[in-house]
Amino acid sequence: MTTEFYIGGSWVGPAVPRTLGVLDPATEETVATISLGSAADVDRAVAAARAAFVPYAQVSVEQRLSYLERISAGFRARLPEIARTMTREMGSPITFSTERQATVALFHFDEAARVLADFRFEEEMGAGVVRREPIGVCGLITPWNWPLNQVASKVAPALATGCTVVLKPSEIAPLSAMVLAEVIHDAGVPPGVFNLVNGDGAGVGEAIAAHPGVDMVSLTGSTAAGVRVSQLAADTVKRVALELGGKSANIVLPDADLASAVVAGVHSCFTNAGQNCQSPTRMLVHRSQRDEAYAAARRAVEQVRLGDPLDPSTTMGPLVSRAQREKVTALVRSGIDEGATLVAGGPEHPDGRGFYVRPTVFGDVTPTMRIAREEIFGPVLSILLYETEDEAVEIANDTPFGLAGFVQSRDPGRARRIADRLRAGRVYFNGAPFDRSLPFGGYKQSGNGREFGRFGFEEYLEVKAVIGW
């Protein structure tokens, strides 16, 4: 079945046979074979979604809530299977896959139901009524690093608002999304409301972005991919929502508990093997605390357990692919070549099979170095030094990205003043947890639009004024 697509409520074969092996990044073995779709497959999926849209848009809130609740129940029943599937397709340690990857994906369906239950789709305003209506057919393009979290963060609000969906998960890690398609089917969601077509960016992603039958496209991916999708979508003036790259700064103020702040910052940067768009990959430390910070960073790296992702004691698995490993390794070498101090780790690959890299920390990094400017998407932390708060803010904002920021301090008022000056869509204070009811999205080249909670829900709605009613 992995070589089929889910279109119009059924699993169907591709228009043109073309396959790709899905690799386990820990063993480099092929664990499944999928089909790569084409524009013809997108045409079929869009046609199914268009035919389903008008009746589904009229479905009552109560019925949509029932669908979401059934999806959540089906997801919970298969959560161990989903977690193991993600471990096999993208290398996430099984404990992390279970407690974070799968669980946070499930949350989006619960959160969409929570928002839907109390949402006012009509309100009186001025001399009329303002209606919020589903935007239509939504093309959703998602990445491999959080293969179901990013799928669910788009699919859940789209279904909740009355939209229909054509999903292209990453061809690198598509298997968990296919399990979700089974869950949605078993929940009784009407045929054509949810459709899934596997494929690469050139064959399926671009066809979705350019398709005149798609009313909105939502992408999570690289900034380069976001630019390309925007260009393709422009001809049909469809709505485009983008969640793109990041190079987030973690400002450790001098009054913070330095050792605990640095250790927590290192581990946060290395979460999911550093394959996170909002990872705090630039740590800013006061120059007077340089040596103490480097010592704490070394201790943090020593706590990382690199190993078999199916071993519950493993805290870091491999990167998702050979290409990703080579990219990260090249950037580590660039840090050494440009004169940064190697505090821990390095470019040498661990022995054995799999796309593993060594968790790495650089010190004495300057804002012009590649490791301080480019999104590495691996377990690599750059520590930059500052003298004043103004300089710290200036360094933090000196980036084309603006997805997240982090501030560590014992003084909430001082930290808040810093947070208010950061040009980023989210700012975390002293290791605050990732709240998925609050809006998530970026400034500058980190994208546009917002996901999660009410803000993510409203991305899938059009606004209509009915005047003189």
Active-site residue list: 243
Give the integer Cα–Cα distance in Å for 449 and 109.
19
Cβ atoms of 425 and 402 closer than 8 Å: yes
Cβ atoms of 417 and 397 closer than 8 Å: no
Structure-token match 């050979």, residue found: 322
| Single-letter amino acid, residue 185 | H
Which of 122, 114, 28 lies closest to 356 in space, CA to CA?
28
Pairing state between β 239-243 and 216-220: parallel
| Single-letter amino acid, residue 102 | A
Give the integer Cα–Cα distance in Å for 88 and 466.
51
What beta strand segments (E) does 183-270 contain? 194-196, 216-220, 239-243, 249-252
Give the integer Cα–Cα distance in Å for 157 and 457.
5
The H or E element containing residue 175 is helix 175-186
| Single-letter amino acid, residue 137 | V
Strand partners, 167: 140, 196
Give the integer Cα–Cα distance in Å for 116 and 319.
37
Cβ atoms of 82 and 102 closer than 8 Å: yes
Which of 275, 202, 204, 287 lies closest to 245 in space, CA to CA?
275
Cβ atoms of 148 and 176 closer than 8 Å: yes
H helix runs in 338-385, sequence order? 370-373
